[in-house]
Amino acid sequence: MWVVRVAVLAAVLVHGVGLVAYVVAWVAVPRRGEDDGLAVRVWRDRRERHATVATTAVATVLVLVLAALGHGLGVAAVWPLLPTVIGAIVVWRGASTEERRALSASLTAPVVRVGRSSGWRATAVRVGLGVAAVVAGLNLLVASRTAASPVTDLLGGLVVTGAGLLVLFTPWWSETVRELAEERLARSRAQARADVADHLHDSVLQMLALIQKAADDPVEVTRLARKTERDLRSWLFGDERAARDSVAARVRAIESDVEADYAVRVETVLVGDAPVTEAHEALVLAAREAVVNAAKWSGAPVVSVFAEIAPGEMSLYVRDRGRGFDPDAVGDDHHGVAHSIVERVARAGGVARVTSRPGEGTEVELQWRTVP
């Protein structure tokens, strides 16, 4: 390898040929372990190509503008400057992601270190640099009125003053921004906690107080506990059940309403869901009637509801293991209710069946299906 290096160095002396060759080789020849050279990589990737062309164009314009303004950048200076800038751009765009990260880290590390550090030495460096830049910039600005090239001096003065101000105030500013963000986060957390506390106070704490008062009445205690549980659960598990326009939500509502009014537990099992139609609605209302009926008459502590729901189809079962009744006996109050359930469902185009035997509980079965 050293032979090549010496040869290149020697070639530099011959009108800089070695230099050009070195740069061309660097850009074009793939490195060990890689398939493509830098230039090929940039050219292959359409996005990289566009980015390179665009940044090159901007850089060229900038260099030319600087040259036109004069001030030490004569036409002679443009020729070495332009290839350097373009070369840097190609190298940057062609670098792999890791290389780019390493490159930018090594370029910015000292700046970041000085900028982040709050030690007195770093602060002194920062303040010294900033003040120096501001003073130099202001000097340039003042001098620009009498200078030979006022525009350049004016621009230069502005840039240098701005840079000085940035160096002076960026750490303070970024600190303020960070503190603001932290404060906002803390406030939103506190807000969330306050919401939870509010809700728990409204529902759970009130209910616990009521439960303590009703300690002698087991039925009331159970009812209150169930209601609290239901409220809390619907609050915790979200809004899916708050949507009242789905059949499942309406069946679920039977559970909460009946449990609120009667001392029974309603266990609801749901499969599927659908948007509410008239027929669905009729079946849900019939099921509600059946659940209320069971709660009032059966004497069973639990009423089971099972619903299988689909658009254009629904089965609902309401079952208790209470005292039951004899379907053949007429005139009985809750038998009349059973009768009205059957009629209601029949009007909607469905079928209802009530099965009951004294001592073994009752099951109401509601079926409806659109004719295909």
Partner 1 sequence: MRPRVFLVDDHELIRSGIRAELADRVEVVGEADEVDAAIAMILERRPDVVLVDVHLPGGGGRAVVEAVRAAGGSAAFLALSVSDAPEDVIALIRAGARGYVTKSIAGADLATAVEAVAEGEVVFSPRLAGFVLDAFRDLPAGTTPDPELDQLTPRERQVLRLIARGFTYRDVGIELGVAVKTVESHVSAVLRKLQLSSRHELTHWAHERRLL
Q: What residues line the site for partner 1 (CB under 8 A)? A: 229, 233, 237-238, 240, 246, 248, 265, 267, 269-273, 304, 306, 308, 310, 317, 319, 321, 363
Between 289 and 363, name the residue whose CB sits nearer to partner 1.
363
Between 220 and 273, name the residue whose CB sits nearer to partner 1.
273
Question: What does the DSSP 8-state code read for residue 353?
Answer: E
The angle at the Cα of 182, spanning 178 to 186, to the nearest 5 degrees, equals 170
Q: In the bound complex, what is the minimum distance in angstroms from residue 229's beta carbon to partner 1?
A: 8
Give me the residue label for tokens 């303020």. 176
Contacts of 189 (CB under 8 A, 6+ apart): none
Q: In the bound complex, what is the minimum distance in angstroms from residue 306's beta carbon to partner 1?
A: 4
* DSSP per-residue string spanning 83-150: HHHHHHHHHHHHS-HHHHHHHHHHHHHHHHHHHH--SHHHHHHHHHHHHHHHHHHHHHHHHHTTSSSH
Between 143 and 207, name the residue whose CB sits nearer to partner 1.
207
Between 144 and 304, name the residue whose CB sits nearer to partner 1.
304
67, 75 in Cβ contact below 8 A?
Answer: yes
Between 100 and 369, name the residue whose CB sits nearer to partner 1.
369
Q: In the bound complex, what is the minimum distance in angstroms from residue 112's beta carbon to partner 1?
A: 39
Q: In the bound complex, what is the minimum distance in angstroms from residue 198's beta carbon to partner 1?
A: 23
CA pair distance 29, 23, nearest whole angstrom: 10
Between 271 and 346, name the residue whose CB sits nearer to partner 1.
271
* C-alpha closest to that of 284 among 243, 331, 256, 316: 316
Q: In the bound complex, what is the minimum distance in angstroms from residue 155's beta carbon to partner 1?
A: 58
Q: In the bound complex, what is the minimum distance in angstroms from residue 239's beta carbon to partner 1?
A: 10
The angle at the Cα of 362, spanning 358 to 366, to the nearest 5 degrees, equals 150
CA pair distance 279, 350, nearest whole angstrom: 8
CA dist 295 → 235, 267, 308, 321, 323 (Å): 26, 12, 22, 11, 11
Q: In the bound complex, what is the minimum distance in angstroms from residue 298's beta carbon to partner 1?
A: 13
Q: In the bound complex, what is the minimum distance in angstroms from residue 272's beta carbon to partner 1?
A: 6
CA pair distance 45, 77, nearest whole angstrom: 32
Q: What is the dihedral of CA 144, 150, 153, 159, to 10 degrees?
A: 100
* DSSP per-residue string spanning 272-320: ---B--HHHHHHHHHHHHHHHHHHHHT--SEEEEEEEEETTEEEEEEEE
178, 116 in Cβ contact below 8 A?
Answer: no
Q: In the bound complex, what is the minimum distance in angstroms from residue 38's beta carbon to partner 1?
A: 44
Between 67 and 294, name the residue whose CB sits nearer to partner 1.
294
Between 60 and 246, name the residue whose CB sits nearer to partner 1.
246
Residues counted in the chain:
372
CB atoms within 10 A of CB 124: 10
Between 8 and 310, name the residue whose CB sits nearer to partner 1.
310
